[in-house]
Amino acid sequence: MKKVLIFTLTFWLLIVGISFLWNMDVAREEQRHVTLQTAHTFLTQVILTREWNADHGGIYVPVTADMTPNPYLDDHLRDIQVSKDLQLTKVNPSFMTRQLSEIAAKRQGVQFHLTSLQPIRPQNSPSEWEKKALELFERGVKEVGETINNPPNTDFIYMVPLITEKSCLKCHSSQGYKEGDIRGGISVTLTNIHTLQLLPMTMGHIGIGSIGVIFIILFWIKLSSAYGIIQRQAVIDSLTNIDGNNTWADYPGFAVDEEAIYITNNMFTFVGANSGVRLWIVDKGTTSGFYSGGPISQSIYDPYNAGASGYELTTQPAHVFNSPTTLPTSVGTFLVGYSGLASGSTEAIQVVRVDNPLVSPTFTTNYVFIGDIDSGASMPDAPQNN
Ligand code: HEC
């Protein structure tokens, strides 16, 4: 019974555990998908703006204190003096990206970075993480994203390659790039992203798990007490093995005295052979046993082969309402049988006295002669009062 409980509990907790892990996995995947999508959308915008710039071969903007010409841009038309008050300088896509990146970092907590394994501008060198990503791009990977723990924040860094297009060659062909080559990459770092809310899911599963455990234990308590009752009730199994054969009980007899319950049966094998008589003696247990709610204690006897010299007849035990003044206290019951037993022309009833029924019963056979009631032919009519 305990095994069943342990098995059921283990099984239940396993199901709850698997559900928890599965839900976690789904939620994590979902969250990663959303973050990835956000980063991807963001970079797409930046790349579009860069492409627009590249399509024009760079964009001219007025030179100011904050906007000085890009020393890395090798172009004889880089600076144009339009008038005394207006000097223009060409802003290439990379330069523009850098400036956008500075605005984004200030306003939105988003950082992006243009980089390459062979940077023209030394400050564009990749970080360790970016370097690994760039190497992966060279091997054909299309995007790389990773959640990075930066206590107390959780960041997400995402990077895509920048492919050399026709519009890029104007400025980058001198380095040996061809159309389709990976020129570098652009990474975006989303700081302090929304992380998985573990608490509700954990609490939910602990709640469901505990409710289940309580129900299983309650059910088990109920079941085991019912099982106990059944076990007590089924303590006498009428399926009895006699001389290697299973037998069943027929011709039941039942009696009580002050200390025991007596049950007699004729036993038969399942192919119908007679296997004799059996007597069950059940201790009433009035103080600590059966009658006072405790476990049942009983024994089975073969009375006609355990001392009684009598014939194995269909046997009925006798109720004994004992009075110590008329019977010795050792006397249990009397096993009574009649089956045409005769001595000459007188028939007899067989009576086997059972002494010390609870400890070690002894059996003593007696015959009570009852006259010539069984002539051997058909039974005489009972006397009629006409
Ligand atoms: C108008 C010229 C010009 C065009 C067009 C141009 N670039 Fe650049 N690019 C530069 C210069 C100059 C730098 C280096 C200085 C800097 O960072 O501004 C650079 C830097 C880069 C970098 C950063 C790494 C490094 O080498 O320092 C990448 C990546 C890059 N370009 C990719 C591209 C791609 C892809 C295109 C086409 C969509 C493109 N560029 C078009 C001029 C240009």
Checking if the pLDDT of 203 tops 90, the result is yes
Query: Quick check: is 357 in a domain?
Result: yes
The pTM (predicted TM-score) of the whole model is 0.60
Of 374 and 291, more confident: 291
Indicate the helix (H) or strand (E) that contains 172.
helix 166-172
Model pLDDT, residue 378: 62
Tell me which of 96, 171, 179, 181 to substitute to probe ligand 1's pocket, judged by most ligand atoms within 8 Å of the beta carbon.
Answer: 171
Distance (Å) from CA 148 to ligand 1 centroid: 28
* Spatial separation of the C-alpha atoms in residues 307 and 361, rounded to whole Å: 9
Cα angle: 242, vertex 246, 252; to 5 degrees: 80
In total, how many domains does the chain have?
2
Is 78 a member of any domain?
yes
- Ligand 1 centre to CA of 167 (Å) is 10
* 268 within domain boundaries: yes
User: What are the CA-CA distances from residue 329 to residues 67, 150, 192, 222, 290 (Å)?
Assistant: 123, 91, 92, 42, 21
**Domain for residue 176, yes or no?**
no
Phi-psi region of 184 (alpha: psi -120 to 50; beta: other; left: phi over 0): left
Q: Is residue 173 part of a domain?
A: no
| Domain end marker among 69, 91, 113 | 91
Residue 379 pLDDT class (50, 70, 90 cuts): low
Range of the domain at 78: 60-91
pLDDT of residue 45: 92
Q: How confident is the model at residue 12 (pLDDT cuts 50, 70, 90)?
A: very high
Residue 337 within a domain:
yes
Q: Whose CA is nearest to atom 23 of ligand 1?
A: 115
- Taking CB atoms within 8 Å and a gap of at least 24, the contacts of 290-297 are 295/232, 295/235, 296/232, 296/235, 296/236
The amino acid that residue 135 corresponds to is E
Average model confidence (pLDDT) for the chain? 89
pLDDT tens sequence across 145-176: 998 888 888 889 999 999 999 988 988 888 88
Nearest CA to ligand 1 atom 18: 95
pLDDT digits (tens, 9 = 90+) for 308-363: 788 999 999 999 986 667 788 889 999 999 888 887 778 899 999 999 999 999 99
Last residue in a domain, options 91, 108, 140: 91
Q: What is the pLDDT of residues 29-84, one digit of tens each?
A: 998 899 999 999 999 999 999 999 999 999 999 999 988 999 999 889 999 999 99
Express each pLDDT in 352-375 by its tens digit: 999 999 999 999 999 999 888 776
- In sequence order, the β-bridge partners of residue 150 are 153
Q: Is residue 255 part of a domain?
A: yes
100 C-alpha to ligand 1 centroid (Å) = 15
Q: Is residue 181 part of a domain?
A: no
Domain boundary among 71, 91, 111: 91
What is the reported pLDDT for 375? 63
228 alpha carbon to ligand 1 midpoint, in Å?
85
Q: Is the pLDDT of residue 214 over 80?
A: yes
Residue to mutate, 79, 91, 114, 172, ligand 1, most ligand atoms under 8 Å from C-beta: 172
Q: How far is Cα 94 from Cα 121, in angstroms, rounded to an integer?
A: 10
